[in-house]
């Protein structure tokens, strides 16, 4: 079944929220982010890894996250992404919006979220 525009919009919004939430705790690099998304959603969010980097670059361009090359001893050079102030505000409002959205769904359709 092909995805509807609503599906795509939800997925895009949720992907950004997830990324913001993941880098909120500590800076992470791209591969780590993709693995965490896969693990923490039990695979229900089929966010294609190929879409990850375009999303990261878009969010970086909007100032929500900031990338920095880090070279640690014994490791390859990796680009780590951390949350900016604007990203923190966005995360807070996105959480609020999603909470309101699910509360509405709950009232209207009796849908409970995890």
Partner 1 sequence: MNWKARLRIALADAGQSPDEDVLEELSEHAAAAYEAARAEGQTHDVAVTRVELIITEWRLRAPLLHRRPLTHSSAPPAGSARWLTGTVQDIRYGCRALVTQPGLTGAALLTLALGIGAATAIFSVIHSVLLDPAPYADLDRVVYVQIREADSPALGGRTWYTVPEFLEYEHQSQVFEDIIAGHVEDVLVRTTDGVEQFRGALVTPNTFPFTGLPPTLGRLLTPGDAEPTAPPVFVMSYQMWVLHYGSDPSVVGRTFVLNGAPTTCVGVVSPRFTKQAADLWKPVALGRGDPDIDGRIFRFQAKLKPGVTLAQANAEMNVIARRVATMYPDQYPERFTVHVVLWVDNLVRQFRTTLYTLFAAVIVLLLVACSNVANMLMARGMARSKELAIRTAMGASRLLLVRQLLVESLLLGSLGAMLGAALAFASIKGLAAIIPLGSIPNEVVLRMNMSVLGFNLAVGVLTAVIFGLVPALYTTRSSVANPLSEGGRAIVGGFRHTRFNGALIVTQVALSVLLLAGAGLLMRSFITLQTIDLGFDPNNVLFARLALPPDTYKSADTKRRFFDTALQEIRALPGVAVAAHASSLHPFVGLSSEIDVAGRPHTDRWDTQYQLCSDGYFSTMGLRLLQGRTFSAAEITDARKVAVVNQALVNRYFGGDSPIGGRIRLKTLEALPGDDRMDDAMFEVIGVVADARNRGLVEPARPEAFIPYTITGGFPRALVVRAHANPETLITSIRRQVWAIDPGVAMTDVGTLRWYLGQFSYAEPRFSLVLLGTFALVGLVLVAGGVYGVIAYTVSRQTRDIGIRMALGAKPGEVLWMVSSMGLRLITAGLIAGAVASLAVAQVLAGQLTHVSPHDPMTFIVVAAVMLLVGIVACYIPARRAASIDPLVALRMD
Q: Which residues bind partner 1 (CB under 8 A)?
A: 29-31, 34-35, 48-51, 53-54, 57-58, 60-64, 76-79, 86, 89-90, 92-93, 96
Nearer of residues 10 and 38 to partner 1, judged by Cβ: 38
Nearer of residues 7 and 93 to partner 1, judged by Cβ: 93
Q: Please say whether the dihedral angle defined by the alpha carbons of residues 103, 98, 11 and 5, taken in this order, is positive or negative.
A: positive
Minimum CB separation of residue 107 from partner 1 in Å reads 14
Give, for 80, the enclosing helix (H) or strand (E): strand 78-83
Cβ atoms of 49 and 112 closer than 8 Å: no
């Amino acid at each position: 079944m092909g995805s509807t525009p609503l599906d795509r919009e939800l997925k895009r919004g949720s992907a950004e929220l997830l990324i913001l939430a993941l880098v909120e705790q500590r800076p992470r690099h791209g591969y780590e982010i993709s693995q965490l998304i896969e693990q923490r959603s039990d695979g229900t969010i089929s966010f294609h890894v190929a879409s990850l980097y375009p999303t990261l670059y878009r969010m970086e361009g909007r100032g929500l996250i900031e990338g920095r090359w880090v070279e640690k001893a014994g490791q390859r050079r990796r680009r780590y992404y951390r949350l900016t102030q604007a990203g923190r505000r966005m995360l807070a409002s996105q959480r609020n919006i999603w909470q309101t959205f699910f509360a509405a769904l709950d009232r209207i359709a009796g849908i409970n979220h995890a």
